[in-house]
Structure 1
Amino acid sequence: MEFTGFPVAALDFYDDLEVDNTKSFWDAHKAVYDEAVRAPMVALTDALAQEFGEAKVFRPYRDVRFAKDKTPYKTHQGAFVGVAPATGWYVEVSAPGVRVGAGIYEASGARLAAIREAMADQKAGARLKRILGDLERGGFEIAGERLKSAPRGYDKDHPRIELLRMKTVLGMKRYGFEPFVHSAELLDRVRDDWRRLRPLVTWLEEC
């Protein structure tokens, strides 16, 4: 299937699902999900696979076993191309539109320690700072979970303390309701942004 954009019906589907997140709604509208949401997402990620790798298109069902929120369905459709643990490229469609990004969304233990060591290193840390600055100037939001204070073992006056406080590092861009999300142009936009995010992914992959 050739990617031609996410139809308006995809965003409308998630608008309605946020109001009526029930099995009865899902069963009545599953064909819309299959045709307007999942099929275009598969087509988009298939078109990007040769350059970036095969994507995992996430299941629409929430794991509610230990959650207070028992609504059964996710209110977005995401896809992820992984290159290292919890590290890679991401694209999502939901009621607010489309967003893309890349980075690391979870790190702990030895993995987080290695990332912090690289952040603290004068050469590697400076390179990450330049990468994030370039992304911000290119219209990306630098997001992620942050500590309120310095991590254990690092001085609060470290010259890259703002980096060291980050537990996750993400470069994100929101396309929202831009008309091109409903057209094949979106493929070019995602490809271009993922290429711009490659230095961040590579830096994290090398940690």
Structure 2
Amino acid sequence: MSFTGFPEAALDFYDDLEIDNSRVFWDAHRDVYRDAVAAPMTALTAELADEFGDAKIFRPYRDVRFSKDKTPYKTHQGAFVAVAPATGYYVQIGAPGVRVGAGFYHAEPERLAFLRRAIDDDLHGAELEKLVDGLQRRGWEIDGDRLKTAPRGWAKDHPRIELLRHRSLIANRDYGFEGIIHTPDLVDEIRAHWRQTRPLLDWLVQHGG
């Protein structure tokens, strides 16, 4: 199956799911999820796999065991291509439209220590700073879980303190409702944008221990 775009029905499905996140709604619209969301996402990631690798398409069900929010279904559909633990490329569709990302969303303490030592290094840290600045200039938003202050053992006036504060680091780009999300051209758009983030992922893999 070739990717032909996400239909309007995919956006409508998530609009409605945000209002009625219930099993009754899901069971009544299971075929819409299958045809308008799951099948196009599978086709999209399959066409990108030749260059980036196979994607994990996340299940639509939320893990509510330890959450106060007991709504059973995710209000978006994501897919992730791993290049290292918790590190890789991401694509998502939901009520706000389509967005893509790349980076690392979690790091165990040992790995985070490796990354921070590389950020501290004048050569490697400056390289990451340049990569992040370059992505921002090209329209990427740099996000992630960040400490409110300096990590323990690091000076608050460190020249790269903003990078040191990251416990995760993700470059995001939002396509929203742009017409391209409904067309086959979305494959090439994502391919081009993921390529822009490859040096960032290479840095994270190289310096993540």
Q: TM-score w.r.t. structure 2 length?
A: 0.98
Rounded Cα–Cα distance in structure 2 between residues aligned with 1:69 and 1:194: 33
Instruction: Flag as ranges the 4+ runs of structure 1 deviating above 6 A.
Output: none
CA shift digits 1:155-206 (9 cap, x unpaired): 1111111111111111000000001100011111100010001011111111
- Counterpart for residue 143 of structure 1: 143
Rounded Cα–Cα distance in structure 2 between residues aligned with 1:4 and 1:114: 42
- Counterpart for residue 179 of structure 1: 179
Q: State how 1:6-155 maps to structure 2 within 5 Å.
A: 6-155=6-155
Rounded Cα–Cα distance in structure 1 between residues aligned with 2:124 and 2:146: 20
SS state at 1:191 partner: helix
SS state at 2:66 partner: coil
CA RMSD of aligned residues (A): 0.6
CA shift digits 1:102-141 (9 cap, x unpaired): 0001113101111111111111100000000110000000
Q: TM-score w.r.t. structure 1 length?
A: 0.99
SS state at 1:206 partner: helix
CA shift digits 1:9-62 (9 cap, x unpaired): 000000000001010110010000000000000000000111001000000000
Rounded Cα–Cα distance in structure 2 between residues aligned with 1:19 and 1:177: 19
- What letter corresponds to residue 59 of structure 1 in structure 2? R
Rounded Cα–Cα distance in structure 1 between residues aligned with 2:63 and 2:146: 25
Rounded Cα–Cα distance in structure 2 between residues aligned with 1:179 and 1:64: 35
Matched residue count: 207
Structure 1 stretches of 5 or more lacking a match?
none
SS state at 1:90 partner: strand
